[in-house]
Structure 1
Amino acid sequence: MATVVDGNRVIVYDRKLSAIVGAEGAEMIIAHELGHHHCHHLGTPIDPHKELVADAFAGAAMKLMGMPLEAALAAVAVLDKRPSPSHPGRQERVAAIKAGWSEPEAGKACRLP
């Protein structure tokens, strides 16, 4: 989760997820949350599109770190299959991760390629 505490940008990560997604999945999740900070999503209304933008940012980050696409998709197991009012479904999110990985400049710029 990306949040602000006492004026400081913070990412809260549950280490229990690492047993499910592995080290690469943990990096992906943290990159996704960094995307929310980088793209100025905090303090704005809930919008599933912002999750896709953060996914694209994370895909781009993984590519720029020299990680293969499989590493960028390592956290997919914890994504809900169905959309919710706050998050798109797994299929859309996988597409956004792949798009960011394929076109990192777009992901870094907080837009979907």
Structure 2
Amino acid sequence: MKGYDYDGVTSKGILPGINDVIITGRSCSTNDVLRTQRDMIKHGVPSGIAVYHMPTAWKGLPGKIGLVRTGQWKAMMIDALELEEFFEDEPTQYQSILDHLKGTTKITKV
């Protein structure tokens, strides 16, 4: 199973397969979830894909530290799901994922 960031990866046409997952730094607030669902339809993401939204409690840190924290959360999710590969475009999050990852998942910079 592979994982994909949403903004900057799937929103640019790099689409997951039916058994893959999306791990997004968008929060799990109702507004972000609904916006993501609308965007997924617009960008042709297959229905039924599991989407993991970042918990609201993890959000809110400004600038680079917020991006590092998002990468840390994504690394935890990647490890928990035991993904074989994860695609990320944002440079700070990419590095944070590499720094916090405990497993052997291949992290691909898009």
TM-score band (shorter)? 0.3 to 0.5
The alignment's TM-score, normalised by the length of structure 1, stands at 0.45
| Greater percentage in helix | 1
Q: TM-score, normalised by structure 2?
A: 0.46
